[in-house]
Amino acid sequence: MWVSSLVSILPLVAFAFALPSKDYEHQVKEEVVPPQGWTIFGPAPSDHFINLRIGLPQSNFDLLEQHLYEISDPYHERYGAHLTKEEVEDLVAPHPDSAAAVNEWLSSHGIQEEDINRSPAGDWLTIRLPVWLVEKMLDTKYHIWKHATSGDYIVRTTSYSLPKDILDHVELIQPTTMFGTFKRLKSTIHSISQANSQVQSQNQPPVSDPVTGVTVDASCGSTITITCLQQMYNAVGYTPSADVGNSVGIAGYLGDFANRADLQSFFEDQVPAAAAANATYNFVSVAGKLCFLGFSSWLTLSKAVSTHKIPTTLAWSLTSILNLRSAGSPPFIPDVATPTDTNEPYTDWLDFMLSYPNPPLAISTSYGDDEQTVPESFAKRACAGFAQLGARGVSLMVASGDKGVGDANLNPATQTCFTNDGQNRTQFLPGFPASCPFVTTVGGTVLYPEQAVYFSGGGFSNYFARPSYQDAAVQGYLSQLPNGTYSGLFNPNGRGFPDVAAQSNLFRVFVTEQPFLIGGTSASSPTFTGVVTLLNDARLKKGLPPLGFLNPLIYSTAASGFNDITVGSNYGCGTLGFSATAGWDPVTGFGTPNFAKLVELVT
């Protein structure tokens, strides 16, 4: 491994000495205050390799955004006219002047075309470089940083600069100033416990919701199964097709993935017909690496509503790190056993999905971090990638998070909701990518009749302005808040989330072929994705295009297709948080899906 690193570095060393030095005048591009808990562990080794990602400005993203909103608006004449892969790439391709300027800069540092991996649109450049060369290029100094609580190690800098003549030709460069704790960026699993070998019959009469009139088995109060979800969300008896071009995908990062044996156990337990048919999923490895331990909840929960007939793909970013314990594990450990550093998962995964000729029509992802741990430049660029998927007809669901409005803590004396801008102000902490306006964010409910679960992530973004599609709904919620409620703790002009909700506790899944009960919005997101997959099935049967980006539809003609949740709140930061109310709220959005109503509204 050391020999390999030496071989790869020699050409760069040769170029560095062979080329005449060019005297660049640098200017700071981005700088941050180290977030709470991070301290310098030591200098970064000069021969430590970084997968440097350079984002060039997307020349016509405003036009792509216009297309996205037109084709996602059920009132617009272009509704459903999704763009092709090539059309999207043309819209986000950088201006030729930007590409030329950056190429010249890279060449001056001995970096040749064969050293660069370019995204299909040319808007991202990825180059594997040693720290010493990156420090020279960015006029900065990298350190190993350690997190006091998690024990994570990452290689980062708090500031980097670029030559003035390319400053406007580069939107961002990472990994530089991002301090997100991506080692702990597991799915937002809130709880897990071993379950009984069989679902316990309570010998009690079914439970009815007096508002919707829907009746569910009494056992659904203690264990959520496929049958419970079909009953709760009014999808009993619907049979999807296997041959209409439908598909569903589940994103897994950082060592999390499905297990075929667990899936078979799940099917034997809850869908015998699927077990008999040996139903399974397609595995797609993003970085070409395999893992050997797994967790099947993402796959099985998506199957819970979409059934085993619809093709399912499991695709995840393994971020190309070399770690023998599991691909996609810790970003960096300062020893010779871990010679490469990783970036975060979203851009690697997005690069792959956007290059995929036919991405799944509905995708669930159950990962997130505090918005403030992600530099705003990166958050906006990743969000723009999600918009590209939407423009191509993909519905992307993300979990809202499991920390309520910030830390799921009611005690003001021990709350941990502080800004990381050096001022340490108490503030609600929205999550990312839940705060991105181009995804459908799914909050959590519990029990039946349903109510908001206390840990359901929700609130308002500090990075993204409120999109027009939710103006009326969010303003309606804010108008009924008493004056001064949580003044200064949240941004009332920011993108509100979640958009919808689904059950998030006591899901019966299988781990190492043993039954467990899990809870978290990581269960809610794939559950709602299953409903979207069924809706796509109904549309495709009638020759209609898939739903694509959902939010303009949800906030307009489809709003009546949800079960409004009006009980519960998402506490945190020493407060009771926001309360679920009639209509949209930043706890459960518009509520949980009523499939029978929604299928009429979208077909």
Cα 43 from Cα 33, distance rounded (Å): 18
Which pLDDT band, with edges at 50, 70 and 90, does 189 fall under? low
One-letter identity of residue 574: G
- Per-residue model confidence as pLDDT tens digits over 459-483: 999 999 999 999 999 999 999 999 9
In order of 191, 205, 374, 590, the CA distances from 196 in angstroms are 16, 21, 40, 34
> Does residue 333 carry a pLDDT above 80?
no
User: Considering only 147-161, 198-212, 494-508, which range has the smallest mean pLDDT?
Assistant: 198-212
Cα 507 from Cα 302, distance rounded (Å): 12
Strands (E) across 64-142 are located at 117-118, 124-130
Cα 34 from Cα 38, distance rounded (Å): 6
pLDDT at position 184 is 35
Question: Which tokens in the block code for residue 318?
Answer: 């393994």
Does 209 count as an annotated binding residue?
A: no
Does 116 count as an annotated binding residue?
A: no
Cα 475 from Cα 493, distance rounded (Å): 9
R_g over Cα of the chain = 24
Phi, psi of 483 (to 5 degrees): -55, 135
Q: Taking Cα atoms as reference points, which of 510, 497, 438 lies closest to residue 462?
A: 497
Cα 338 from Cα 133, distance rounded (Å): 19
Which pLDDT band, with edges at 50, 70 and 90, does 269 fall under? confident
pLDDT at position 192 is 66
Give the pairing of strands 159-163 and 500-503.
unpaired
pLDDT at position 187 is 43
In order of 151, 180, 317, 589, the CA distances from 343 in angstroms are 18, 10, 11, 32
Q: Can you tell me the mean pLDDT for 310-323?
A: 36
> Does residue 201 carry a pLDDT above 70?
no
Q: Taking Cα atoms as reference points, which of 211, 213, 205, 248 lies closest to residue 231?
A: 213
Question: Which tokens in the block code for residue 291?
Answer: 């893992």
Question: Which tokens in the block code for residue 227?
Answer: 């049958």
Handedness of CA 528, 531, 537, 543 (dihedral sign): negative
Residue 229, SS3 per DSSP: helix
- Per-residue model confidence as pLDDT tens digits over 218-227: 999 889 998 9
Does 583 count as an annotated binding residue?
A: yes
Share of the chain above pLDDT 70, in %: 80
pLDDT at position 281 is 62
Ramachandran bin of 382, using left for φ above 0, alpha for ψ from -120 to 50, beta for the remaining angles: alpha
In terms of DSSP H, where are the helices of 453-520?
471-479
- Per-residue model confidence as pLDDT tens digits over 124-165: 999 999 999 999 999 999 999 988 887 878 899 999 999 999
Question: Which tokens in the block code for residue 133?
Answer: 């060369």
Which pLDDT band, with edges at 50, 70 and 90, does 89 fall under? very high
DSSP state of 322: -
Q: Can you tell me the mean pLDDT for 224-240?
A: 91
Distance of CA 391 to the CA centre of its chain: 17
Q: What dotted CATH number matches 191-602?
A: 3.40.50.200
Q: Taking Cα atoms as reference points, which of 430, 465, 468, 432 lies closest to residue 551?
A: 468
pLDDT at position 301 is 40
Phi, psi of 446 (to 5 degrees): -150, 160
In order of 178, 180, 256, 431, 603, the CA distances from 318 in angstroms are 18, 17, 9, 22, 38
pLDDT at position 421 is 84
Phi, psi of 549 (to 5 degrees): -60, 120
Q: Can you tell me the mean pLDDT for 88-95?
A: 97
Where is 577: in which H helix or E strand? strand 575-579
Q: Taking Cα atoms as reference points, which of 448, 444, 446 lies closest to residue 211?
A: 448
Question: Which tokens in the block code for residue 115?
Answer: 């050293």
> Does residue 342 carry a pLDDT above 70?
no
CB 539 within 8 Å of CB 546: yes
Q: Where are the CATH 3.40.50.200 domain residues in the chain?
A: 191-602
CB 539 within 8 Å of CB 362: no
pLDDT at position 462 is 98
pLDDT at position 218 is 93
Beta carbons within 8 Å of 20's beta carbon, 6+ residues apart: none
**Count of residues making up the chain:** 603
- Per-residue model confidence as pLDDT tens digits over 389-417: 999 999 999 999 999 999 999 999 999 99
- Per-residue model confidence as pLDDT tens digits over 10-39: 444 444 434 444 566 899 999 998 888 889
Which pLDDT band, with edges at 50, 70 and 90, does 310 fall under? low
What global pTM score does this model have? 0.89
Which pLDDT band, with edges at 50, 70 and 90, does 519 fall under? confident
Cβ neighbourhood burial of 416 (10 Å; 0-12, 13-18, 19+): middle
Does 471 count as an annotated binding residue?
A: no
Angle between helices 345-355 and 376-391 (to 10 degrees): 20
Q: Taking Cα atoms as reference points, which of 283, 331, 300, 37 lies closest to residue 183?
A: 331
DSSP string, 234-299: T-TT----SSSS--EEEE--TT----HHHHHHHHHHH-HHHHHTT---EEEESSS---S----HHH
Cβ neighbourhood burial of 412 (10 Å; 0-12, 13-18, 19+): exposed
Mean pLDDT of the chain: 83
